[in-house]
Structure 1
Amino acid sequence: MPEAGQDIQVTRAEDGTVDGTVRVGDEPAGPDFTRAVLDVAGAVLTWPVLGAPGASGPPNAPGAPGLPTAHVHDAGRAQQWLWALYGERVADAVHDCTTGTPSGASAGVTVAVEAVEATTLAGGAARLAFGHWASRWWPASYMEGTAGLEPGVLGLELAALTHRCHQLFDTAFDDQPEPDDCAAELIAEHRTALDLLVRWWLAPSQPADTARHLDSVLRLIDDAADSAGLDGPALRHLRASLDQDQPRPAGTPVDLGTLFARPRGYALAAGEPLTAGSRVITRGAGGNDWRRYPPGFVDAAEDAVSWTVRAVGARRRIEVEVVADVAAPTAGAALVAEVRVDGDRAVRVPLVLRDDLWTGGADLSSLGLDLDLGPDRGLPSAAMPPRIEVGVLLPGFDPGPGAPGDAAHRDAVRALARQRLAAAARPSPYAGAYPEPFLAEIAAVAAVEEDF
């Protein structure tokens, strides 16, 4: 990711797969859950969420967001924001690479990055992309005490940021809408959370920074809703509250823990043995690859997936338990466990949601799997124990397993979430955070005692 004052590469794709595609900057390394992505007019922008690898390998904590990498597939549409994000010299270089002029530009040029990352558009774009990342990849975990983010509060702030960054989106091409140009849709989807934000904004005795943050978000939502022609009781209440424009009344400060309290009673109901009259042969923890299921299905802890192999008479049975996310859907698509023994073919075991666990099991013979058992045919051979791998996925959603090193990146993302929640809990949460805390993070900290 380029920084101000450094050179930036502007190159045209050479593989010929997409005619006219131009790349600005270097593609961030790492799995997709370590990148924040934004679809804008004529391009896709990408920021690294984590810092560069440290001396021992795992990524460091990120610093301030810099300029994104851009894959420009329509330079004409992208010109409306390229100059504001990267400066005029980069915008000209993208045009030259696309048209092949001047001589040699089609192969690539190097230009100096102008100091534009502090502009409203650049900062807003980075924040909007990070917010979309959080809506997809935030590692909420009851097991590890990482609070989840209230979807309605985050969705409304994303709507406000989308409206603020309207220059990134091309409203002149209604037949080519960008997926992330969705302010009206986000307001309509999360309008029930508007009352919570208004009550929070009107509350007395709150930090001045938080009050300004709320005021900015609510006024942007009001303007975005007005531009889109949205109406309804929640929006009319918002407009009436904004129109009052008077000092907040004195009184008891709002209890954010109560205002944003979530359903309680999540107790990790890993209970009685699933198979009576059996004995344990071996057990372990499986991998928890976030890429393989939608957000909100599974607790983000690395050891949320566990398995047990039992001897039931002459049969060998594997049982899988997966700690569910507190918001896991009680109906609809169900997860499956993918089981592999000694690197053999992977087979799937259906899982059902039972209380706060996804559970399932099957006889290994029915799956076409076998264990290398010892002489007593009850325990694995001590010299060569079987290697059992268990993962969890949603069929039809799963892109396939990630790379072996992804676990270190997941650990780094968990550390980033803890760092951000700690920053949101400080009296001055806006100092040094990347980017500054979202309202949903501040609310999550306030409600943490209700959740854990």
Structure 2
Amino acid sequence: MTHPVHTPVVAADGALIRFALADLLSGRASSMRIELSDAGAAEPWLTRLVGTEAGLDALGKGHAEVPARPELARLALLLWIRRWWPAGPSLGVPSLDPALLDLETAVATAAVEDLAEGLLDGFEASPAELFDTAIADDALMAAAPPVADEVRGLCGRLASWFDDQDDVVRAEAAAEMVARLDAAAPGQRAYALAAGTDPVASGEGVLASGRASVDWARVPPGILDAAEDTVTWRIVMAAATARLEVDVAGAFADAALTATALHDGEPFAEVPLSLGAGRFTGAADLDEASTQLAASVQSGRITLVVGVAGEGVTGTTAEDRAEVVALVRARPPEDRTLAERAAAASTEEEF
């Protein structure tokens, strides 16, 4: 089964609508695959989307390969970016502002709801919820300066859409954002990541040490640098016990993270991680059994997992991550999202 990192998807009512990642990132999505899970729920919007004849054919087969609709392709791309975007300075991939992503996803979601009513019933986030998140704590105003004209235009579109939905409160809030952006002076928002320190080398008292990569599937999106080998760890003797110390370089935002040490796949220690200057760090004393284990095995048989360590997670491989980074780095400038254009503009302003 293809890992979700490779398959952008829109979860429709009674179906999944899948796209090829390479096609979306290159701006040439020509087809989409509709996979039905509940034909009764999907039938109303499916007929509106592809027509009666193609709809009946899809209902009979349980799936269909149809020409891509740009509204769905755009939404699938934005949803994928919100979960899997591989930001990292060493990768040449900028971190994207979540408020800008939420705003553009709100507009894209509204466009899909207009395209085929009922398609997104029970969807993960409505245009209203996404817009609320975007403007919370003035995040959108802070992110807007590099792309103020575009943000103003999207807010204007949402104001009209909310008005059509009789959502007076949000229509007014979106219109107010337009007015505030009109009145705001040009500004600059800096995007910076604190430089990492070199990992501590093994030495006297070090029982085991190593490096690891962050599995994107095990951590929240937009939190950590997506580069390989950003995690360093060591187990050192401290008085009568041993201590596991963990350093994760490259932090874009705070989150509740834990590092789990495993021996031959079995967990034996956990370390809560705290955000510091551009990195997460943490340390925890080991119990007697874990101390004896660390003292008796080779470092190569100990692995460290940052984030969710349970078996229920389908993890990404180094090959998965390298393929995605290559596709993102080859992305045509003309197909960039609002958040990508803002990040590029901010970088140009800094230099």
Identify the TM-score tier after normalising by the shorter chain.
Answer: 0.7 to 0.9
- Which residue of structure 2 lines up, in the alignment, with residue 304 of structure 1? 230
- 2 CA distance for matches of 1:350 and 1:195? 31
51, 75, 89: which is aligned to 2:53? 89
Q: Which residue of 1 aligns with 2:347?
A: 448
SS in 1 for 2:245: strand
Q: Tell me what 2:209 maps to.
A: 283
1:260-302 alpha-carbon deviations (Å, 9 max, x no partner) = 324x57232568x699x94445432113111112123322222
**What CA deviation, in whole Å up to 9, does each residue of 1:133-156 have, x standing for no partner?**
111111122453421111111111
Judged with a 3 Å threshold, the aligned counterparts in structure 2 of structure 1 residues 167 and 366 are, in CA distance, closer, same or farther, namely: farther
Q: Paired residue for 2:95?
A: 148
Q: Structure 2 matches for 1:47-446, cutoff 5 A?
A: 47-50=19-22, 64-83=28-47, 85-95=49-59, 97=60, 108=61, 116-117=67-68, 122-167=69-114, 170=117, 177-180=121-124, 182-191=126-135, 192=138, 193=140, 197=144, 200-202=147-149, 217-226=154-163, 227=165, 228-231=167-170, 235-237=174-176, 258-262=187-191, 264=192, 266-268=194-196, 278-311=204-237, 316-329=242-255, 334-366=256-288, 368=290, 370-371=293-294, 373=296, 386-394=300-308, 400-402=312-314, 406-420=317-331, 423-424=332-333, 429=334, 436-446=335-345
Letter paired with 2:21? V
Identity across matched positions, percent: 28
Q: Conserved in 2, the CA contact under 8 Å of 1:308 and 1:320?
A: yes
Contact 2:213 2:227 in 1 (8 A): no
Contact persistence 1:37–1:45 (CA under 8 A): yes
Kindly state the Cα deviation for residue 391 of structure 1 after the two structures are TM-superposed.
Answer: 0.9
**C-alpha deviation, 1:128, in angstroms:** 0.4
1:39 aligns with 2:11: yes
5+ long unaligned stretches in structure 1: 1-28, 52-60, 98-107, 203-212, 245-253, 374-379, 430-435
User: For the Cα contact (< 8 Å) 2:193–2:278, is it kept in 1?
Assistant: no
What count of residue pairs does the alignment treat as equivalent?
342
Change in 2 beyond 3 A, CA 1:194/1:180: farther
Contact in 1 for aligned 2:193/2:250 (Cα 8 Å): no
CA contact (8 A) 2:207 2:295 kept: no
Amino acid at match of 2:72: A
8 Å CA contact 2:147, 2:341 repeated in 1:
no
How far off is 1:66 after superposition?
Answer: 3.6
Higher normalized contact order (CA 8 Å, seq sep 6+, divided by chain length): 2
For the Cα contact (< 8 Å) 1:222–1:239, is it kept in 2?
no
* 2:209–2:299 Cα contact (<8 Å) kept: no
Say whether the 8 Å CA contact 1:292–1:400 is kept in structure 2.
no
Bigger Cα Rg: 1
**Equivalences for 1:9-48 in 2 at 5 Å?**
29-48=1-20
**Structure 1 residues 451 and 364, CA, compared in 2 at 3 Å: closer, same or farther?**
farther
**C-alpha spacing 1:62/1:400, structure 2 compared with 1 (3 Å):** farther
Q: CA deviation at 1:158?
A: 0.9
- The whole-number CA distance in structure 1 between the counterparts of 2:195 and 2:154 is 35
Structure 2: distance between partners of 1:187 and 1:47: 25
Distance 1:282 1:359, change over 3 A: same
Structure-2 change in CA distance of 1:279 and 1:318 (3 Å): same
Instruction: Write the letter of the residue equivalent to 1:93.
Output: D
SS of 1:321's partner is strand
Task: Summarize the Cα distance change of 1:44–1:347 in structure 2 as closer, same or farther, 3 Å threshold.
Answer: same
Distance (Å, rounded) in 2 between the aligned partners of 1:438 and 1:93 = 35
Q: Is the contact between residue 155 and residue 190 of structure 1 (CA under 8 Å) also seen in structure 2?
A: yes
Report the Cα offset of residue 443 of structure 1.
0.7
Q: Show structure 2 runs of 5+ residues with no match.
A: none
TM-score normalised to structure 1 length:
0.63
TM-score (norm 2): 0.79
Aligned equivalents of 2:63 and 2:12: distance in 1?
23
CA–CA separation in structure 2 for the residues paired with 1:68 and 1:349: 43
User: CA 1:408–1:144 in structure 2 vs 1: closer, same or farther (change >3 Å)?
Assistant: same
Aligned residue in 2 for 1:377: none
Greater helix share, structure number: 2
Residue deviations 1:316-346 (CA, integer Å, cap 9, x gap): 54321112522224xxxx3221112244445
